[in-house]
Structure 1
């Protein structure tokens, strides 16, 4: 059953529901394909992205942006038809670019890389507890869990290594990225898995995708500080760690950071600038298929 959506000024809008199963997805594609839509906007958490993207131009949008957009419209009610209308209006207003989603192999690698992060986070949490508990039995419990987590970590890292080194394209990309002091294997593999757009976007687009493009709040004569945000948080976190290393061991990027600090920039701002340089550099290396050559 469908119903018109008029709350947000979309007179031709229509809402319908399908099941979250194979039959539902088949019905969804059958309904959309004859319309030849120019863009299909989906929230990143919808669960339909991979299937729909197989045959339609899909843009996966950030749920946080959709919520902010709904608030800006004054839309507080929340139903599936209203949510769909908000996403449609957001897509019409912002024109997000349709990009192909990762293939199965890239998605598997991204899942492995994410799992590695999760295991490390659990290990860090257990080690912090280890410093707080004096009871011998609790110490033994933590030690057993850490040992099990270390085994899991080793297995996941071995799978990541097999996947990356077993693929000629990924192996070449890793070698190109790791030619930069500041990008080690972990960061290189995070970029390969979670930034498959590397080499296909310009410097501004790739920085924005990583959440490292500065934006400024401004109203009239008032101008606020520039901030970074959005984008792919896991990639941004990896590049932040890479920037710390590059600021010490990469002569070119160390000199760049030192110039910013000498000009009065806060150290954290300078570090973010180094991280932005790293992603732009990584993008250029993959695009040009060339190893890093310091200027």
Structure 2
């Protein structure tokens, strides 16, 4: 029986143009990164019987075409730039331009063995909204830093007014985002489950829900790896290196760290115990905090998987009456 071959294409995304290549073929296409260009792209892919399309994340310029391709029932693999660069190094390929990159992405797409399910399309606008809120928080932090080093009272007053204005906007946008999420019953249920955990506030719960769509459907190890808080070995021969974290989803990781600090000092009894035990064993504060952040995410993954809210203490087992 002949083996079925999946025809793969790769897309190099630019702000205005899409360069497209087929794996193992000299066929090429350049289309506009616009709705009209997507129609041309889809017709070209269908004509060449393409089933799987790879595309490199490109600062958001890829999001619209990815959404359209998935709507048209193509299997779409979104690569991080580091993945494509690593594949180029493996292939000893040094030349680089848009056409070459498209062919490289096509080959990379064909080499993928495991295809992950596409994320929930409802979460994309929520992720953009969250990023805007994060940026407001970052702007407030920058203004606070300016005030600390400024001696001009008039400038301090102006910046304090800006901080108050931004803080008000941040509060309004958080409320609007929560309301938008709660319009979807299943998302609202997951949000409440995550929010039930001691030490996870509503904002952190929304970050986990939106930035980790896989929550509750993966193992604790997979969740930690996706967030970039899984400890990796660094051993070679007789040398045993220090375990370290790497990669992952930066904004998700940052939110977990922000929540883990107060949770491990005040809000979550299990994390308070964990932090104290690690510090008592001689661990550095940062390593102990990473462990607490990882535990918070594991708690979130567990409550969503089980579909039951967080309980500080395990339920007592009913005992039969004495006879």
Q: Normalization by structure 2: what TM-score?
A: 0.78
Q: Normalization by structure 1: what TM-score?
A: 0.85
Name the residue aligned to 1:5: none
1:40 has 2:57 as partner: no
1:258 has 2:288 as partner: no
Distance (whole Å) between structure 2 residues aligned to residue 34 and residue 202 of structure 1: 40
Across the aligned residues of Structure 1 and Structure 2, the Cα RMSD in angstroms comes to: 2.5
Name the residue aligned to 1:280: 298
Name the residue aligned to 1:80: 98
Specify which of 146, 154, 175 is matched with residue 171 of structure 2. 154
Aligned residues: 285
Contact 2:229 2:290 in 1 (8 A): yes
Decide which structure has greater helix share: 1
Q: What residue ranges of structure 1 are gaps of 5+ in the alignment?
A: 1-9
Distance (whole Å) between structure 1 residues aligned to residue 110 and residue 177 of structure 2: 39
Q: Give the drift of 1:84.
A: 1.9
Distance (whole Å) between structure 1 residues aligned to residue 299 and residue 50 of structure 2: 36
Contact 1:59 1:99 in 2 (8 A): no
Contact 2:178 2:206 in 1 (8 A): no
Residues 33-56 of structure 1 show CA distances to partners (whole Å, capped at 9, x for unaligned) of 455555322212251222222221
1:17 counterpart SS class: strand
Specify which of 120, 126, 129 is matched with residue 112 of structure 1. 129
Distance (whole Å) between structure 2 residues aligned to residue 93 and residue 225 of structure 1: 32
Q: What residue ranges of structure 2 are gaps of 5+ in the alignment?
A: 1-22, 315-323
Specify which of 183, 205, 217 is matched with residue 234 of structure 2. 217
Contact 1:59 1:96 in 2 (8 A): no
Contact 1:130 1:139 in 2 (8 A): yes
Find the structure with the greater CA-based Rg. 2
Distance (whole Å) between structure 2 residues aligned to residue 197 and residue 75 of structure 1: 34
Contact 1:53 1:101 in 2 (8 A): no
